[in-house]
A = this chain, B = another copy of it.
Amino acid sequence: MTPVSIYPVPGLPEIGRDAPLANLILEGINALGMSLEAGDVVVITQKVISKAEGQVRRLDAVRPSARAKEIASRIAYDPRHVEVILSESVRVVREAPRVLITETRHGFVCANAGVDRSNTGGVELVVLLPERPDESAQRLREALVTASGVEIGVVISDSFGRPWREGQVNVAIGAAGVVALRDYRGDRDPDGYQLQGTELGVVDEIASAGELVMGKLDRVPVALIRGAAVSGDGRVHDLLRDPATDLFR
């Protein structure tokens, strides 16, 4: 039985704007003594994509608005950080001391709109999410397919917290060439009982699986997943719940 295998891809340097990510990833895979095969999935952390796209801001150039100062004062945050978070958000979902959960322009609900101060090439910088992460994944996929000659998938991952459970988990924020949702509704179990409401967020499970070889601190920002049988044409945008029917917004 062929397993699903997850390889940490080594060797990516500190990433700057317009870094040739596809080439760097292929070099890392070569360093493993491997090459891309059809059906492989490359999982890459959001921070690498964002840096390559120039989604980095200097905090000392940010002028916080009155609203940012007010929220920052209530939750004990840097008002410049809050300003950038608000600029990336369409609404604040929850605030509490040291916690700011917003809905981003993309439709993600997450802490700090995904705007991260850690591991940025400088303490006074922040890294934003990519502007259109599904398109970022598609561009990287096309570059990898062109360079390798095989059809593969790309998943851009980020660590999000969730209600009710401690601990962040890796979820997908962008994808290309993979299934996003797998729909079992209408299937019947072995006893003939029709499954109700069973859709699996496969693309998020791929992102979580990738994290098992990544470690935090982005020292291994790329994972290669082989054998998962998840080829498809899903987008992460497809699994964002309609705010009008969301029970927790």
Contacts and interface: CB of A to CB of B under 8 A. Distances in A.
12 contacts: A5-B5, A98-B197, A101-B247, A118-B198, A120-B189, A163-B246, A163-B247, A168-B198, A182-B216, A205-B211, A208-B209, A209-B209
Interface string A183-196: 01001011111111
A121 interface: yes
Interface residues of A, number: 78
B201 A187 contact: no
A241 interface: yes
A84 interface: no
Given A159-B198, A191-B123, A217-B184, A167 B208 contact: no
B201 A167 contact: yes
A202 B247 contact: no
A211 to B, nearest CB: 5
A234 to B, nearest CB: 10
A50 to B, nearest CB: 15
Interface stretch (A6-14, A64-72, A133-141): A6-14
